Chain A
Amino acid sequence: MAAVPDDASVADSSALLEASGLIKSFGPVVALRGADLRVRGGEIHALMGANGAGKSTLVKILTGALTADGGTITLGGRPRTFHSTSEARRAGLICVYQDPSLLPDLTVLQNLKLTATPISLFRHYLAELGLEGFDLQSLPRELARPTLSLLDLARALAIEPQLLLLDEITASLPADLTVRVFNVARQLRAEGRSVIFISHRLAEVGALCDRATVLRDGKTVGVVEPAQGGEERIVKLMLGPVAEEVAAEAASPSAPATGAVSMEVRDLKAGMLSGVSFMLRFGEVLGVAALEGQGQQELFDCLAGVRRPESGQIVVGGKARVFRHPADAIRAGVVLIPADRLQALLRQRSVRENIALPLVNRFSRWGPINPRREKRRVESAVKRLQIDTRVQSEVRRLSGGNQQKVGIARWLASGFNTLLCFDPTRGIDIGTKRQIYGLVKELAANGSAVLLFTSELPEIQLACNRVIVLFGGELVDEMPASEADEQALLRAAHGLPSEADAEQQAPEGA
């Protein structure tokens, strides 16, 4: 391999955790083929890699959820092998995952007792995270997801770990809570303890981490200091030789399209959503920008037939439609790609069956399947999306990015005219992300209409022609992509007028 720019000789003496040459395979699939990781005491260390690079496997080995096939782990200079997570926990290693792990039907207090968590320390860290006075009798089932993530984190902190692993914890957190998590991580560092931080958001890594270890194809390909312009290097290392190519593709924002109207929404009301009207044209990608919970979920659910609006009209192809079931929307050519890919996929079934599912979705298609025709359709979709797999394998064995591609490939195989993408790149690595945006643009260029919500505002310009902004359930702004830089979107998404407008209006008190 290329020279790994690492100050190894210096680090050795102060290494808290040192993993070298870790190997792990699942049957014929090799997840790790020689991964190295060296974390110093009092360091926040990022673990980076594209989907399927082996990050999760490495984390699971470090925390005892999996045992490595080869390689060594030393903790504080002593060689260790963990056979269970509780063993790793006793040694001071604990991981907080993206999905909160509290049992939904026990109270928070009962959950804590289950894991023998010291309550007073838990309360202390909860206060650090901004949740002082939290009622321990509440049921996790009734709590918001960001709160659950914080509870999970406080529970991990309460055992005072030597090394805390944060696996994509910020993916489901709004910006203000992310800041609190960062502060706690910095505090651990100041106390001489260490944090391993995993995130797909490069800006977070740059702001928080001292060093970053980059994995690719199960191997460590470099250790980088992300702070001074290291982000570009990380991206290059993660992507490998294809990096330049893909980077070139992230083109300048496209101009608004002028095609025929695919879908017109008139005064749509549903739950949080209170009277939204807009038009979506063929040949354009219309971005939806909004903070968490501003009605975008309701909007997409109504348009896809998942939920019925309380009032308002959805006009597709010139006709007002009532979608009672997703099948109605699909028949009108409107298809949805949900944020949670597992919500849309059959995990135990093959890639082929997953992609072919809409091909058998009505009564008239219950009969024999023409295997040649199906194979042709599935394979052309797989090829177009470059899904990295043999089509016979189970979907649950694929990486997150490839799973999302399967969810998209399904509609390429069955055909559609309007694509609703709800945060399609959540928790997906940067290479796949760019691929997905490239595809979305290409679909629009070929005449489809695309409505795209993404929780990562900077990405709007990457894919869209035009943007609408939702705030408090209302459509508060619309702008061409060329004006929709992160700052403009952030202002609008917080319900603030644009800078130009703000200057015109006389400031009143606030």
Chain B
Amino acid sequence: MVRLVQQRSIVVLIALLVALAGLIEVIRPGAVNANWVSNILEFAAPLGILAAGQTLVVITSGIDLSVANVATASAYIMASQAPFGVTRGIIAGLLVGIVVGLVNGVGVAVFRVQPLIMTLAMGLVVTGTLNVYSQASVRSVPGVPDVIHTLGSGTVLGYVPVSLFLWALLAAVLIVGLRGTGFGRLLYALGDNPEATRLAGVRGWQVLLANYTACGLLSAVAGIVLAGTVNAADLSLANVLLLPSVAAVVIGGTSIFGGSGSYAGTIVGALILTVLNSVLTLLDVADAVKQVLYGAIIVLLAAAYTRVLGRE
């Protein structure tokens, strides 16, 4: 019965997605075509991957406010190290994510700092450090290597974005992993009732440490893909994606209080946000108005969602 409701909520979300696409078609007939779908997927991929890490953390009733800063830093470090070898660049970028994730994990899991505070502070630390690094290395904005550019904005067979393959792979791992592994079970368990989880003999700090690290790593991947998509790695690359990463999780039906949710929902959430952005762009509204509408629509969606499903 629960599963039924959850599945139905995904159906509702997909219906919403289709409705938004229909709206675009009404505003500008002929706009919704294979090319448009390809574009949407390409832009949704980095957000979807960023929101993947966020989903893991929110399931444990935490939140990671450093994901966007980490993504930006990873992309920048990757690009600035790429001249010494693309592999080295990518590894350096991913390491940024792992290290920041580990620090977040130690703070939250070992020292019991509130996730909100811990990750907000780490986000600031990351951004500050990145600024120092960029000034010290005194270079113009580093260019994005071709491999990454292809990863972020290349297509196969004309329409299928390359990044979609990476996204699909990660999605498969996450969806299967959350449902069918001990680690996935423990994430839900910790989000639902940490005390009960402890009484069952689980050392929760190990799980949380691994989880925040995984979130950092996924943020780094998202940053690198995004750099490829926009073909640039500046100092504020992914910063606009922080709130959308949380919004995608919430719209996707993962409880902000932890203990329930799925990555499948988050994927649809990320697609809805991307299409919504596309609608607003098509309507040619001013940026300020766009932000207002964007915020209002997210609130409405979340409210409607809670109401329809009767979640407490």
> Interface 1/0s, chain A 331-367, versus B by CB < 8 A?
1000010100011111111100100111111110111
**Is A394 interfacial (CB-CB < 8 Å)?**
yes
A346 and B188 contacting across the interface, CB-CB below 8 Å: yes
Task: Give min CB distance, B26 to chain A, whole Å.
Answer: 37
**CA–CA, A369 to B192, complex, Å?**
20
* Total A-B contacts with CB atoms under 8 angstroms apart: 99
> Interface 1/0s, chain B 175-197, versus A by CB < 8 A?
00000111101101100110111
Interfacial chain B residues near A338, Cβ < 8 Å: 199
**Is A480 interfacial (CB-CB < 8 Å)?**
no
**Is A371 interfacial (CB-CB < 8 Å)?**
yes
A361 and B200 contacting across the interface, CB-CB below 8 Å: yes
A368 and B180 contacting across the interface, CB-CB below 8 Å: yes
**CA–CA, A21 to B199, complex, Å?**
43
A362 and B201 contacting across the interface, CB-CB below 8 Å: yes
**CA–CA, A393 to B3, complex, Å?**
9
**CA–CA, A347 to B189, complex, Å?**
9
B199 and A331 contacting across the interface, CB-CB below 8 Å: no
**Is A306 interfacial (CB-CB < 8 Å)?**
yes
Which listed segment binds B: A58-66, A93-101, A254-262, A322-330? A322-330
Given A346-B189, A349-B188, A371-B180, check contact A357 B197 (CB 8 Å): yes
**Is B2 interfacial (CB-CB < 8 Å)?**
yes
B1 and A28 contacting across the interface, CB-CB below 8 Å: yes
Task: Give min CB distance, B209 to chain A, whole Å.
Answer: 11
Given A349-B259, A369-B185, check contact A327 B193 (CB 8 Å): no
**Is A410 interfacial (CB-CB < 8 Å)?**
yes
> Interface 1/0s, chain A 211-236, versus B by CB < 8 A?
00000000000000000000000000
Interfacial chain A residues near B8, Cβ < 8 Å: none
Interfacial chain B residues near A393, Cβ < 8 Å: 1-2
A357 and B185 contacting across the interface, CB-CB below 8 Å: yes
Query: Which of B3, B185, B206 has the most CB atoms of chain A within a 10 A radius of its CB?
Result: B185
Given A357-B200, A361-B201, check contact A368 B206 (CB 8 Å): no
List B residues 153-193 near A (Cβ within 8 Å): 180-183, 185-186, 188-189, 192-193
**Is A392 interfacial (CB-CB < 8 Å)?**
yes
**Is B112 interfacial (CB-CB < 8 Å)?**
no
Interfacial chain B residues near A306, Cβ < 8 Å: 199
**Is B198 interfacial (CB-CB < 8 Å)?**
yes
Task: Give min CB distance, B310 to chain A, whole Å.
Answer: 10
**Is A318 interfacial (CB-CB < 8 Å)?**
no
**Is B203 interfacial (CB-CB < 8 Å)?**
yes
B198 and A326 contacting across the interface, CB-CB below 8 Å: yes
Return the chain A residue nearest B4 by Cβ.
A27
Task: Give min CB distance, A381 to chain B, whole Å.
Answer: 14
Return the chain B residue nearest A335 by Cβ.
B201
Total B residues in contact with A, Cβ cutoff 8 Å: 26
**CA–CA, A490 to B198, complex, Å?**
35
> Which single member of B195, B206, B260 contacts A348 (CB below 8 Å)?
B260
Interfacial chain A residues near B255, Cβ < 8 Å: 348
A327 and B203 contacting across the interface, CB-CB below 8 Å: yes
Interfacial chain B residues near A369, Cβ < 8 Å: 180-182, 185
Given A27-B1, A365-B182, A368-B180, check contact A346 B201 (CB 8 Å): no
List B residues 229-276 near A (Cβ within 8 Å): 255, 259-260
B200 and A343 contacting across the interface, CB-CB below 8 Å: no
Interfacial chain A residues near B3, Cβ < 8 Å: 392
**CA–CA, A327 to B305, complex, Å?**
39
> Which single member of B1, B181, B189, B202 contacts A349 (CB below 8 Å)?
B189
B182 and A394 contacting across the interface, CB-CB below 8 Å: no
**CA–CA, A344 to B202, complex, Å?**
12
**CA–CA, A348 to B182, complex, Å?**
17
**CA–CA, A329 to B199, complex, Å?**
10
Interfacial chain B residues near A347, Cβ < 8 Å: 192-193, 259
Given A343-B199, A347-B192, A349-B192, check contact A366 B182 (CB 8 Å): yes
Task: Give min CB distance, B1 to chain A, whole Å.
Answer: 6
**CA–CA, A27 to B182, complex, Å?**
31
Interfacial chain A residues near B182, Cβ < 8 Å: 359-360, 365-369
**CA–CA, A326 to B186, complex, Å?**
16
Given A343-B196, A367-B182, A369-B180, check contact A392 B201 (CB 8 Å): no
Interfacial chain B residues near A357, Cβ < 8 Å: 185, 189, 196-197, 200, 202
Return the chain B residue nearest A410 by Cβ.
B200
**CA–CA, A28 to B2, complex, Å?**
11
Interfacial chain B residues near A366, Cβ < 8 Å: 181-183, 186
Query: Which of B193, B195, B206 has the most CB atoms of chain A within a 10 A radius of its CB?
Result: B193
B197 and A367 contacting across the interface, CB-CB below 8 Å: no
Interfacial chain B residues near A327, Cβ < 8 Å: 201-203
A348 and B259 contacting across the interface, CB-CB below 8 Å: yes
Return the chain B residue nearest A304 by Cβ.
B199
Task: Give min CB distance, A407 to chain B, whole Å.
Answer: 9
B180 and A326 contacting across the interface, CB-CB below 8 Å: no
> Which single member of A344, A362, A392 contacts B2 (CB below 8 Å)?
A392
Task: Give min CB distance, A26 to chain B, whole Å.
Answer: 10
Task: Give min CB distance, A180 to chain B, whole Å.
Answer: 33
**CA–CA, A350 to B198, complex, Å?**
18
Task: Give min CB distance, A66 to chain B, whole Å.
Answer: 13
> Which single member of B180, B181, B192, B198 contacts A346 (CB below 8 Å)?
B192
**CA–CA, A326 to B199, complex, Å?**
6
Task: Give min CB distance, B205 to chain A, whole Å.
Answer: 10
**CA–CA, A297 to B213, complex, Å?**
37
Given A349-B189, A358-B201, A394-B2, check contact A344 B181 (CB 8 Å): no
**CA–CA, A371 to B181, complex, Å?**
10
A345 and B2 contacting across the interface, CB-CB below 8 Å: no
**CA–CA, A343 to B192, complex, Å?**
11
Query: Which of A327, A348, A360 has the most CB atoms of chain B within a 10 A radius of its CB?
Result: A348
**CA–CA, A347 to B257, complex, Å?**
13
B196 and A346 contacting across the interface, CB-CB below 8 Å: yes
**CA–CA, A359 to B183, complex, Å?**
11
Task: Give min CB distance, B184 to chain A, whole Å.
Answer: 9
List A residues 390-423 near B (Cβ within 8 Å): 392-394, 410
**CA–CA, A306 to B200, complex, Å?**
11
**CA–CA, A220 to B60, complex, Å?**
43
Given A345-B193, A346-B192, A393-B1, check contact A326 B185 (CB 8 Å): no
Task: Give min CB distance, B197 to chain A, whole Å.
Answer: 7
Return the chain A residue nearest B261 by Cβ.
A348
**CA–CA, A360 to B186, complex, Å?**
8
Return the chain B residue nearest A345 by Cβ.
B196
Given A368-B180, A393-B2, check contact A346 B193 (CB 8 Å): yes
**CA–CA, A73 to B3, complex, Å?**
35
**Besides A346-B188, A346-B196, A369-B182, 12 other CB < 8 A contacts?**
A325-B203, A327-B201, A327-B203, A330-B200, A336-B199, A346-B189, A347-B193, A353-B189, A360-B182, A365-B182, A366-B182, A410-B200
Ranked 7 nearest A-B pairs via Cβ? A360-B182, A330-B201, A346-B192, A361-B201, A327-B201, A366-B183, A357-B200
A residues adjacent to B (C-beta < 8 A) = 27-28, 304, 306, 325-327, 329-331, 336, 338, 342-350, 353, 356-363, 365-369, 371, 392-394, 410
Query: 20 pairs across A/B with beta carbons < 8 Å?
Result: A326-B199, A327-B203, A336-B199, A345-B196, A346-B192, A346-B193, A346-B197, A348-B192, A348-B260, A349-B192, A353-B189, A357-B185, A361-B200, A361-B202, A362-B201, A363-B206, A366-B182, A367-B182, A368-B180, A369-B182
